[in-house]
Structure 1
Amino acid sequence: MTIVDGDGLRRRLDAAWDLDPEKTGGGPEPFMATMRALLADAEAFGEPETLFRVRIGYAYSLGFKGWDNSSREVTGEWLGVLRRCLLMWHAEPHRYDEDYVTAMWTQLYRLLDVFVRTFPEPADRIRRLIDELERYCPPTRPGTRYALDEARLRLAARRGDVAEVERLWTGLRTREIPREHMFPDGVASIDATMWIRLGRPDRAVAALAPVLTGQIPARDGHDHEDSLLVPYLLTGRVDEAVAAHQRAYTRSGMKLEEVAAHLEFCARTGNEERGLDVLHRNFARIGYHCDSVDAMWTAAAAALLCRRVVAAGLDREWVWECGCADPACETLPIYTYAKLGQDLRWHATRFAEHMDELNGTPHLGERIDALLRAEPVVDRLELPPAAAPARHRAEPPRSPHLDATDDAGLLRALDLARAADSGTSRIVLTQRVLQNALVGGATRALVEARFALLDDLLPDGWELWSTDLFSCLVELFRLHEARPTLLGADRVAAMWRAVPVALERALTLPGTHLRQVHALLDTLERHERPCAGDRRHVRWFRAWAWARAGEPEAARAAWERFLALPPAERRAASGDTARAVQWWLDLGRDRWAFESAEALAAEAERSRLLPALLRAGRVDEAHELHERTYRTVTGAPEVAAHLQFCARTGRLEHGREIIGRVLDLYHVADDEEFAFDRLRAYAGAVLLGERLAAAGLDEPWTWPADDCCPAEDGWSHARLAAACRRHLALYARRWEELVGTDFHTRAVTALADGR
């Protein structure tokens, strides 16, 4: 049995500090394990001074614990240990070593920062904690009081309370930064980032000026000027922005906020290629999911860059390195910037929504939306030559899960991939073949893999993979254009059979940018086959694309070109006439819609015309059509038309019946499934729900259970209208990004408002 005494515990504590991960030879696991064992013995021994020291050490060690799946557990234990130390010190303030008391307050400040930025907690909880700590902090500790005010400042900035930020920041600038708790240059850098995110570039420059002028010394290896790249641009200091970017963009180990600054700088100066270099150099830092405030801002900046890359016509396939050797890995290795931008956009947006719930303000959601939609400051800013070879132009790496890089080995691997039970697993395995075919120049395997992916992505049920299908088809036509004799007639015919499926999904579901659609149509036009009906696809989808762009005259001109085809060639597929009618309605061209509607056979599809009939004064015809069809309509365009009709003619009971029958339309399980046609259906639900509530006809009801969610009580049409208005704003903005115009946003907002 080991005898525990004070001297022995202190010697063991001194030895434990040698295992600090910040020191050479230290490591998180042995450090935490040693501190944990020490804590148990110190608590058993019970001598206060030693117990206080050991608790401080153990609390410090918790900062090195893996937090991925247990952040609340770790921070809860961390706070609990520190709170016990605080109570010990408060009861006997002169008993404990001042260095350890200072370390306690430093850790409490660090924990507050974790709650504000890294693993966010509700703002009210953080505020109460700061108040509690302040009550225990005597005026004789001005540095600690400064640290607590600094935490208040960060929390106010997170909430978007600019007046409170101004008050606190102005006061703090008159006080000395406590070096016992924080690094002065780090405080200035964080202040600069804070003001950037609040939309005050002038204040950001002022915050960092003491460091840049040498008034506050910068620590070795810390170049804080990255933070000012965009503020420099916005305040006209372009040369300084270029110099700061050029000096640092290849630096390894950048913080997330520094990566975000370089990405935004490149996106807003026409330097998309340089931005892609930064992006690929920092994938390990950016990651894929947002799990902190800084990660949210960086994801949004990366999404902005991807949007500009697509707009510049630079989108292409590239290899996402999973960096693992797990045989069960299902990471998709083939990505495009359009798809990455879409994923990161939604991660940032959803995390911002979560933060707004914690904050009780809409601030972060609005600021992230503003960053996602930011426009270039200059169209093209010339940069000095690259400081290093561009990382995104490097040869793709071989898959760590597949050794073969030659045709024979890859074709055998492809056969095994095609036998996979799961569709997703089959695609992952096939993409690995494609990846290694790109590495080894195995043309035959590359072609076979691409057509295998095309076969996987075409069937019904794979609609949410629309961006993957589109990029697969684009790459096949690029290959065909580069090597016209490589693919036989049967393979080319298979590509053309995929064209209407890929383009319809691209124009119906969010993900593919309209600029990409036009580019593919240009390619298709160059490769139309005589007498094969290819012109029909090109002209039909060209008209559709111009309708999405909110360009009535261009859409009409493309439509006339389609109508100029010989009758046998322009044969209409199922639903094409109804689709054309909807284009003209979306564009506010009722007369053209009536002309196209003459060919509609189904009355349900004719009901799309209800609002147009009212506008044309054909009221009786509209009422008769509504009565014949409202009990059976389920499609989004028809539902939208009926709801508008009901709201505008007072048939509110009929509208309520329709909504009750089509609630699935108002349940979004995945952001990528919000089809364009749902915009007007949501606008109709907003208008009808608000008018039901205003007329006193609303009542509570239960949302029925479905495959993903249980039944939910407490719904009403007023609540549904509010939810649909939020969704309408969110998804209309996304479609606005994709089509490059706010034409449809303005239209559906007007419909929701009854205008």
Structure 2
Amino acid sequence: MAALDREELRRRLSAARDLDVEKPGGASKETFVAAMEGVLADAEALGDPELLFEARLRYGYAMRSDHWRGASSKQAVGEVLGVLRKCLLMWHAEPHRYPANHVTAMWTQLFNVVDWYVRFDFEPAGRVHRLLDELERRCPPTRPWSRYAIDDARMKLEARRGNVAEVERLWRRLRAQGPPEEHYLPAGHAASNARMWTRLGRHDLALAAAAPVLAGHVPAREDKLFESVLLLPYLHLGRLDEAVDAHRRTDAPTGMLYEDVAAHLEFCARTGNERRGMEVLRRNLHLTGLGCGYVVHMWTAAAGALLCRRVCELGLDREWFWPCGCDEDDCDDLPLVSYAKLGLRLRWDAVGLAREIGEQDGSTWLAERVEALIRAEPVVDRLELAPPPAGPSARDGGAVPPADHLDVVDAAGLRRELERAKTIEEERARIGRMQRVLQNATMGGLTDVVVDARFGLLDDLLDERRESRRTDLFSTLDALFRLRDDRPDLFGAERVEAMWRAVPVALGRVLARPGPMLRYVREFLDRLEAGCRPETEDPHHVRWFRVEVAARAGDAGAARDAWARFRELPEAERYAERESVPRRVQWWIDLGCDEEAVVALAGREGDEREDLLLLPYLRTGLAERAREVHERTYRTASGAPEVAAHLQYCVETGALERGREILLRTLDLFLVDEDEDFAFDLLRTYAAAVRLCERLVAAGLDGPWTWPESDGFPAEDGWSFARMAESCRDFLGRYARGWEELVGTTFHTRAVHALAGAEEG
């Protein structure tokens, strides 16, 4: 009976293998995995060692066919590793019992798991090293290529940590053994090593790693686009003709992998071919912009953020429509996007994942390398490439596709859809529906409906609850002013008035928190100034925000000139109100112009926000005035600028215990939920907190404390001022660099690091 059961189970195992999704006529992945699960369960019950060993191997392959992706990837990969460990123990106990090809397959699968942990859904370096130690203990000298693979995995892990010396030591030792004969696809292995050295900045070694393929010693499959790994090494080593040829041969319309896309995006961004890069990005949106969950996503996102930054710096950005490509009726995707908006998201996705990996690996190299990539400058100003693949131009968004989930295309129908959209309660779904109306109206050249849809979006985005959509508000308003210039007949007095009412709201938001680059704000102000209406406050809006733009750029001379121009206008009530004065005071403080800051608040002595002047008072010899203001206001200070002022005052005057009291009372300021939402005013607050915390530690006033529960954040023990200083300095560097990219200068980066007690972050 047992023999019959064994033969029946072997027949089922063979039948299950034929269900492989990658075989012709294969079943769905769910059917394939379920069949293998059933066979494995019965093999466990039967207990035949050879059959059980094979069933476990085949189950591992079945799970691998699902690519281990999705929300449960860690669980799936962990389950596969558990099954493979059982195989390893069986083989280790009876090494001559199992067929050689099955043993090799077991080791290959184990290395696939390790590779997944290193390059995809990462595990901390320490944990992976322990797994490699376990594999090494059970790997006899008679398996040289398995030992090779163990060392190769250690090398890739050290590369993720930026340990160049150890990587080079291991690489040279492995290279002396020749190309591996087991466990790898030879060309893929060479490409992986070349890519590793490129990311480490050793372009000479990247080419050396690729040499066996280039010399024909290792066969390369044409459809794998091998030469994309050579783009950046060729470029950095000055082999420009070869770089161009490699780009031409591998810039494929389809079939590119994450690594290929990353290489082409960076190559275009660093050779003056940003428009070509826009084409590459648009053709590969399914790889570029749909989240950053794995290590390979991180590098592609970082290269995409670099390309978007260059596009914006060159003034090439425009809004365009991104098809979601799904068939979900309740899809709430937002189709309207710009390179500025996409780049900001890609930037923080990539940096956030790099930091998360680095924290678990105990290294800051990965985050530093990713940020350096995003901020990279061209290697050559302009490298002539072959004509781009046929298709719509990316500069203006190309030909507008029809909107997903909206079939209506006629003007009357689109207007009805717009009115229906305004009644949708859920914010994202409402905005998405209006954007689809805009998309189909744009596609059909229905400019009057385009204007209607833009005004619908404007009304919605002006709501104070939409502050996080400030970039959308800015681009919507910019588009309306452009449309007014092109089609003034569609803009009556009421519409123009509504646009101008929105101007200070939009500019106030995008200059306070990360949004469009400063150059776009300047261009917008230029457009506004040319169309100011006489006898209105339009010129006041333009000139007021020109001062703030100059302040953000760190240009004190330009700010003074812009302020003088603003003062030439008749007084406008809006900008004389109490709410506007602190903003003006803060301009001058940010620029280090103490006298202008004091003058800005002249006549308002006794105002609660006089505490903004604490440091200007100290620096201009008004110490007693500063002390009186501090004593009067420190208990109620809660906003970022005034808290920063009080913390700095306490450091400068030695009132450290008072500073500690203020800091512990205002911890909510240091709970920033999203990286891209970091307010400009928080830069000085974080810097002041660093300085105060380090002074508290130096004075022996540190000790453990608990961060209280607040706004959805649970209480957390284990805090100290030493820990807070380290955390704030870390985040300060991260956020200051982000603002530096937006404003285009290092003025404020240097200023806040000096305030924190360091010249650099």
Contact kept, 8 Å, 1:114 with 1:120, in 2: the verdict is yes
User: 2:144 is matched with which residue?
Assistant: 142
Question: 1:571: Cα distance to partner?
Answer: 4.9
Query: Quick one: structure 1 residues 569 and 240, their matched pair in 2 at CA, closer, same or farther if it must change by over 3 Å?
Result: farther
Deviations 1:629-671 (CA, angstroms, capped at 9, x unpaired): 2222222111111111100111112212222222211111122
Residue 661 of structure 2 aligns to which amino acid in structure 1?
E
Q: Is the Cα–Cα contact under 8 Å of residues 577 and 599 in structure 1 kept in the other structure?
A: no
In the alignment, the residues of structure 2 paired with residue 88 and residue 331 of structure 1 have an alpha-carbon distance, to the nearest angstrom, of 50
- After superposition, the Cα gap between the structure-2 partners of 1:158 and 1:405, relative to the gap in structure 1 and judged at 3 Å, is same
Q: Tell me whether 1:477 sits opposite 2:481 in the alignment.
A: yes
Instruction: Report the alpha carbon displacement of residue 581 of structure 1 after superposing the two structures with TM.
Output: 2.0
CA–CA separation in structure 1 for the residues paired with 2:527 and 2:48: 80
Q: Residue 488 of structure 1 is aligned with which of 485, 492, 495?
A: 492
1:81 corresponds to which residue?
83
Q: Could you tell me which of 396, 401, 407 is aligned with 1:397?
A: 401
Secondary structure in 1 aligned to 2:648?
Answer: helix
* Aligned-pair CA distance for 1:34: 2.3
Q: Which has the higher mean CA deviation after the structures are superposed, 374-383 or 683-692?
A: 374-383
Q: Tell me how far 1:238 sits from its aligned partner.
A: 1.5
Greater mean alpha carbon deviation, residues 436-445 or residues 738-747: 436-445
Deviation at 1:91, TM superposition (A): 1.2
- 1:419 and 1:707 map into 2 onto residues whose CA distance is 30
Q: Which residue of 2 aligns with 1:98?
A: 100
Conserved? CA contact 2:404–2:436, under 8 Å: no
CA shift digits 1:385-431 (9 cap, x unpaired): 12322474542222221110111111111121111122332212211
* Offset at residue 672 of structure 1 (A): 2.9
Which residue identity lines up with residue 554 of structure 2 in the other structure?
G
Shift of 1:718: 2.5
Q: State which drifts further: 227-236 or 436-445.
A: 436-445
| Structure 2 partner of 1:310 | 312
Secondary structure of the corresponding residue to residue 386 of structure 1: coil
Q: How many residues align?
A: 755
Residues 52-451 of structure 1 aligned to structure 2 (within 5 Å): 52-65=53-66, 67-390=69-392, 392=394, 393-451=397-455
Cα distance in 2 for residues equivalent to 1:265 and 1:192: 16
Report the more deviating stretch, 245-254 or 364-373. Answer: 245-254
Among residues 641, 663, 668, which one is paired with 2:672 in the alignment? Answer: 668
Equivalent residue for 2:470, pick from 451, 466, 469: 466
- Kept after mapping to 2: 8 A contact 1:331/1:428: yes
Deviation at 1:44, TM superposition (A): 2.4
The residue number in structure 2 matching 1:35 is 36
Tell me by how many angstroms 1:724 deviates.
Answer: 1.3
| Distance of 2:30 and 2:346 partners within structure 1 | 32
What is the rounded CA distance, in whole Å, between the counterparts of 1:209 and 1:678 in structure 2? 50
- Structure 1 position 4, deviation (Å): 4.9
Aligned to 1:505: 509
- C-alpha displacement at 1:25, in angstroms? 2.0
Taking the aligned partners of 2:399 and 2:2, their CA distance within structure 1 comes to 60
List gaps (5 residues or longer) in structure 1.
Answer: none
Letter in 2 for 1:676: F
SS of residue paired to 2:488: coil
Query: Which of these residues, 642, 647, 651, is aligned with residue 643 of structure 1?
Result: 647
Counterpart residue type for residue 23 of structure 1 = K
1:563 corresponds, among 553, 563, 567, to 567
- Structure 1 residue 219: deviation in Å? 2.3
Which residue number corresponds to residue 49 of structure 2? 48
Deviation (angstroms), 1:568: 5.0
Work out whether residues 603 and 629 of structure 1, in 8 Å CA contact, stay in contact via their aligned partners in 2: no
CA distance change for structure 1 residues 633 and 569 in 2, over 3 Å: closer, same or farther? Answer: closer
Matched residue SS, 1:229: helix
Contact in 2 for aligned 1:687/1:754 (Cα 8 Å): no
CA contact (8 A) 1:640 1:680 kept: yes
Go from structure 1 to structure 2 and tell me whether the alpha carbon gap of 1:250 and 1:481 turns closer, same or farther (over 3 Å shift): farther
Of 18-27 and 228-237, deviating more is: 18-27
**Given the superposition, is the C-alpha separation of residues 19 and 570 from structure 1 closer, same or farther in structure 2, using an over 3 Å criterion?**
closer
3-state DSSP of counterpart to 2:583:
helix
Instruction: Report if the CA contact (8 A) 2:225-2:256 is conserved.
Output: no
Alpha-carbon distance, 1:720 to partner: 2.1
Q: Equivalent of 2:717, from 713, 716, 737?
A: 713
Residues 342-380 of structure 1, C-alpha deviations (whole Å, 9 max, x = no match):
111111111111101221111111111111111122233
Alpha carbons of structure 1 residues 471 and 745: separation in structure 2 relative to 1, 3 Å: same
User: Contact 1:144 / 1:178 at 8 angstroms: preserved in 2?
Assistant: no
- 1:702 aligns to what? 706
2:629 matched residue in structure 1: 625
| Structure 1 position 593 matched with structure 2 position 594 | no
Q: CA deviation at 1:459?
A: 1.9
CA contact (8 A) 1:417 1:429 kept: yes
Aligned twin of 1:23: 23
CA–CA distance in 1 between the matches of 2:411 and 2:3? 69
Q: What CA RMSD, in Å, does the superposition of the two structures yield over aligned residues?
A: 1.9
Identity %: 57
Residue equivalent to 1:658: 662
Q: For the residues of structure 1 that align with 2:309 and 2:121, how far apart are their CA atoms? A: 28
Distance in 2, matches of 1:329 and 1:568, equals 46
Q: 1:678 maps to what in 2?
A: 682
Does structure 1 conserve the Cα–Cα contact (< 8 Å) formed by 2:345 and 2:676?
no
Is the 2:273–2:382 contact (alpha carbons within 8 Å) kept by the matching residues of 1?
Answer: yes
AA aligned to 1:268 is R
Q: State the AA in 1 paired with 2:286.
A: A
1:103 is displaced (CA, Å) by: 0.6
Contact 1:319/1:435 (<8 A) preserved = yes
Q: Which residue is 1:549 aligned to? A: 553
The two structures have a TM-score, normalised by structure 2, of: 0.96
SS in 2 for 1:221: helix
Measure how far apart 1:7 and its partner are.
2.9
The answer to whether the aligner puts 1:615 opposite 2:610 as a matched pair is no
Matching residue's letter, 2:461? L
Asked if the contact 1:250–1:388 (Cα under 8 Å) also holds between the matched residues in 2, the reply is no
Letter in 1 for 2:174: L
Deviation at residue 217 of structure 1 after TM alignment? 2.2
Once the 2 structures are TM-superposed, how far is the Cα of residue 569 of structure 1 from its aligned partner? 8.3
* Residues 567/631 of structure 1: CA separation in 2 closer, same or farther (3 Å cut): same
Range with greater deviation from structure 2 (116-125 or 604-613)? 604-613
Structure 2 residue 689 is the aligned partner of structure 1 residue 691: no
Following TM superposition, by how much is the alpha carbon of 1:622 offset from its aligned partner in structure 2, in angstroms? 1.8
Q: CA offsets, 1:9-55, max 9 Å, x none?
A: 33333333333333222243333222222212222222211111111
Query: Per-residue CA shift, 1:210-232, capped at 9, x if unaligned?
Result: 21222322124233121121222
Deviation at 1:206, TM superposition (A): 1.9
In the superposition, the TM-score normalised over structure 1's length comes to 0.97
Q: 1:558 to 1:74 in 2, by over 3 A?
A: same
Q: Specify the SS of the correspondent of 1:318.
A: strand
Separation in 2 of the partners of 1:112 and 1:569?
66
* Counterpart Cα distance in 1 of 2:758 and 2:252: 53
Kept in 1, the 8 Å contact 2:540–2:572? The answer is no
CA distance in 1, matches of 2:388, 2:466: 41
Residues 88-116 of structure 1: per-residue CA shift (max 9 Å, x gap)? 11111111111111111111111110111
SS of residue in 2 equivalent to 1:542:
helix
- 1:54 partner amino acid: A
| Matched residue SS, 1:659 | helix
Partner Cα separation in structure 2 for residue 223 and residue 425 of structure 1: 40
Q: Give, in whole Å, the separation in 2 of the partners of 1:241 and 1:70.
A: 40
Residues 651-660 or 538-547, more deviating: 651-660
Shift of the alpha carbon at 1:443? 2.5
Report the Cα distance in structure 1 between the residues aligned to 2:2 and 2:580, rounded to whole angstroms.
85
